[in-house]
């Protein structure tokens, strides 16, 4: 898997980078969705336990 800096990820998500190609954008969006799923799952567990 390709590693991206936070700045690169934000540029791609914000469509500010003119150098990105479609494949890279798709990879970043998929990565974001995967991380968002993990985050929401962890948040649900914390809320359920009342911590």
Residue ranges of domains in the chain: 6-49
CA–CA distance, 30 with 46 (Å, rounded to integer): 25
What is the helix (H) or strand (E) element at residue 12, kind and residue range? helix 6-13
pLDDT at 42: 92
Residues 3-50: tens digit of each pLDDT: 777 787 777 777 655 555 666 777 778 888 899 999 999 999 998 886
């Amino acid at each position: 898997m390709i590693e991206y800096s936070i700045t690169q990820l934000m540029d791609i998500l914000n469509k500010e980078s003119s150098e990105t190609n479609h494949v890279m954008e798709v990879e970043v969006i998929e990565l974001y969705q995967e991380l968002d799923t993990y985050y929401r799952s962890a948040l649900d567990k914390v809320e359920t336990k009342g911590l």
